[in-house]
Amino acid sequence: MAFSMFLRAPACTSKLFSQQIMRIATQQAMKPVAAERMLSSVLPTQHTILKSNSPPILNAVRSFRTSPALLQEEKAHDHSKLWVIEKLTSAVLVPLIPICLILPNKMFDAALAILVTAHSFWGLEAIAVDYVRSSIFGPFIPKLAIALVYIISIATLGGLFYLISNDVGLSNAIKQLWSVKSKQVA
């Protein structure tokens, strides 16, 4: 995956880079003279860099800069903040679950319901995005998978809030589930 992302980078999609790759790929047999000539054309010496009219590959990569429009687009798809929120949610769940079981009330139950639903939503969404790809399943199935993730998450949150407001509460329901004993067969 890292290699494919490298190949999609703007430095690798330039015309000069693709010409060099095509030149390497279309050569029939690597003879020592041809290989030496190819290396001298790909990696020019210091003397030819100064006299060359076209920028060599190394300088083209070093001078690569993104435009402001591309920078704004990248920030819109920046998932580092979401990653931090996901990890904070997971970290908050660790003490919140025992607190909810020790001190059951509607406020802790609501916080637990929201965080558990968000945590499961992000996990299911990652599974749907990573494994249900349009290149494998076509354009419709991945959209359906994401829609199902949203439906499941909304139904889960609604069901948990219904349990909190109209029944015994989330913490007490968990305690009741744990207290159920199986019938012993005599």
2-30 pLDDT, tens digit per residue, is: 555 556 666 666 676 666 666 665 664 45
Q: Is 77 annotated as a binding residue?
A: no
CATH topology of domain 79-179: 3 helical TM bundles of succinate and fumarate reductases (1.20.1300)
Tens-place pLDDT, residues 54-64: 555 554 444 44
Q: Is 150 annotated as a binding residue?
A: no
- Where along the chain do its domains lie? 2-69, 79-179
Alpha helices (H) in the chain, listed in sequence order: 2-7, 15-26, 32-42, 46-51, 57-62, 68-76, 80-102, 106-131, 134-137, 140-166, 170-179
Evaluate if pTM is beyond 0.75.
no
CA distance 149 to 155: 10
